[in-house]
Amino acid sequence: MWLRSFASQEAGVRKDLVLLQETHVEKKERERAVKEYAAKWGFRSGGLCEQLSWWSSSKDRKGGVACLIHPYGGFKHAQPVLEEHWSPYFMAIQGHIDGVEFLLLNVYAPHVVAERERFYRQLARIELPAGAKVLLGGDFNCTQEYRVDRSYAQGPGTHKSAGLDTLLGNWCLEDALLSEIPEVEDVPALHHFHTAHHTYRYNIPGKGEATSRLDRWYLSSAAMEWLRKIEVIPPVHKADHRGVQIWLGSPTDPVRIRKPAQIFPAPHYAVQAVRELTLKQISDLGARVQDMSVAESAKAWECFKLRIAKDTLRTVRDTRKRRRNSYKQRLKRLL
């Protein structure tokens, strides 16, 4: 019953690829799951038949992740990769969209803090295949942005994962919603972000209902160029989390759904701060690449592009905040 919901279309929208977490599908049930999903489309599985789904087994009905492919969708030539690292919490497949190679990583992080951090540290040691645009999605069971990712937070760093930060740095990935994260002082914008992008709803004794953004997408800089739209969708059958759907399209396609945030040129009030930031980061990069190989230099450049974009946006946001606070102080003195 629950598998059938992934073979449906809503309002004519085709889901080319679906990442599932916490499937509870055991090793002995994987073949049956592959057959059942293929049968929903009228296909056979096994032999020379093209495989439409991959399942990483759960353990004692805990965990389990899967990737489901739409047989008539745009994700072509899908193949499993990094299989030696597959676990109840991680799997990876590779395929092509419009002839361009993409690497899809599916994560369901353990909820126990010590296990979660160990899991992220182990993943961070994996060397990803070169050349593909990287998409990392799943349930990360932590939140990295204080007050933005949780409607109720006890304090900065309470639910943050240092291990995930290390992983994202090693793999040169950034939050797909980087350009849309609001300032925490902008309460209406913050509430709108919570409503639009939080995926999990729960109750806190004595506090009432709260929400969090546990389910997210992280992209490489090359994949970011393909990102057109990101939205939260209703939970599927038997799920307690809402889904996060991303729309991808070639950057050479003139029809763009999502307008990227402007990073350069910086607003006039932040020009000097951004210039100083840029010069420092270029200087640091130049010093680091002196002893790097060609491959290491290419990876450092990809990481640099993501970091400079993120830090530029943050610098502009912080400068705007200081500027606004300065105006408020002047008005108070006048009054």
- Tens digit of pLDDT for each residue in 123-156? 999 999 988 999 999 999 999 988 899 998 777 6
Same domain, yes or no: 170 and 308? no
- Confidence (pLDDT) at 157: 66
In degrees, rounded to 5, the angle at the alpha carbon of residue 138 between the alpha carbons of residues 126 and 24 is: 100
Residue 297 counted as domain residue: yes
Q: Is 92 inside any structural domain? A: yes
Has residue 170 been placed in a domain? yes
Res. 256: pLDDT tops 70: no
Angle at 37 between CA 52 and CA 55, to 5 degrees: 65
Of 187, 216, 248, the one marking the end of a domain is 248
pLDDT score for 101: 97
Same domain, 238 and 281: no
Average pLDDT of the segment spanning 260-275 = 78
Q: At which of 191, 218, 248 does a domain end?
A: 248
Which of 288-297's residues contact partners 24+ apart within 8 Å by CB, and which partners?
295/130
Give yes or no: residues 124 and 186 share one domain: yes
Same structural domain for residues 231 and 304?
no
Residue 256 lies in a domain: no
More confident residue, 250 or 261: 250
Same domain, 232 and 299: no
Whether residue 327 is contained in a domain is answered as yes
- Cis previous bond, 260, omega within 30: no
> Which carries the bigger pLDDT value, residue 220 or residue 299?
220
- Mention every residue, 6+ apart, whose C-beta is less than 8 A from residue 86: 56, 80, 92
In a domain, residue 61? The reply is yes
pLDDT in tens, 8-59: 555 567 889 999 999 999 999 999 999 999 998 988 887 778 899 999 999 9
**Higher per-residue confidence, 55 vs 290:** 55
For residues 282 and 274, what is the distance between their CA atoms, to the nearest angstrom? Answer: 12
Distance CA 88, CA 165 (A): 21
Same domain, 175 and 240: yes
C-alpha pair distances (Å), 327 with each of 114, 128, 321, 332: 45, 48, 10, 9
Best CA proximity match to 160, nearest among 122, 213, 209? 213
Range of the domain at 290: 270-332
Considering only residues 158 and 57, tell me which one the structure prediction assigns the higher pLDDT: 57
Element (H, E) at 318: helix 294-334
Percent of the chain at pLDDT > 70 equals: 90
Domain count, the chain: 2
Same-domain check for residues 71 and 181: yes
- Mean pLDDT score of the chain: 87
pLDDT of residue 262: 67
Task: Please count the other Cβ atoms lying within 10 Å of the Cβ belonging to residue 333.
Answer: 7
Domain annotation covers residue 189: yes
240 and 296 both lie in a single domain: no
Whether 157 is in a domain gets the answer yes
pLDDT band at 1 (very low <50, low <70, confident <90, very high): very low
Cα of 1 vs its chain's centroid, Å: 28
| 55 Cβ contact list (under 8 Å, min separation 6) | 23, 25, 30, 33, 34, 64, 65, 66
Instruction: State how far the Cα of 145 lies from the Cα of 193, in Å rounded to an integer.
Output: 12
Assign residue 194 the CATH number of its domain. 3.60.10.10
Distance between CA atoms of 257 and 229, rounded to whole angstroms? Answer: 6
Same domain, 82 and 48: yes
How high is the pLDDT of residue 10? 57
Residue 222 C-alpha from the chain's centroid: 14
Residues 82 and 32 placed together within one structural domain of the fold: yes
Q: 323 and 195 in one domain?
A: no
Cβ contact 334:327 at 8 Å: no
Per the listing, tokens 């980061």 go with 281
Has residue 306 got a pLDDT over 60?
Answer: yes
pLDDT of residue 70: 94
- Which of the listed residues 184, 216, 248 is the one where a domain comes to its end? 248
Residue 288 pLDDT level (bands cut at 50, 70, 90): confident
Task: Say which residue, 333 or 185, is predicted with more confidence.
Answer: 185
Residue 134 and residue 72 in one domain: yes
How many Cβ atoms sit within 10 Å of the Cβ of residue 146?
Answer: 16
CB 263 within 8 A of CB 312: yes
Q: pTM of this prediction?
A: 0.80
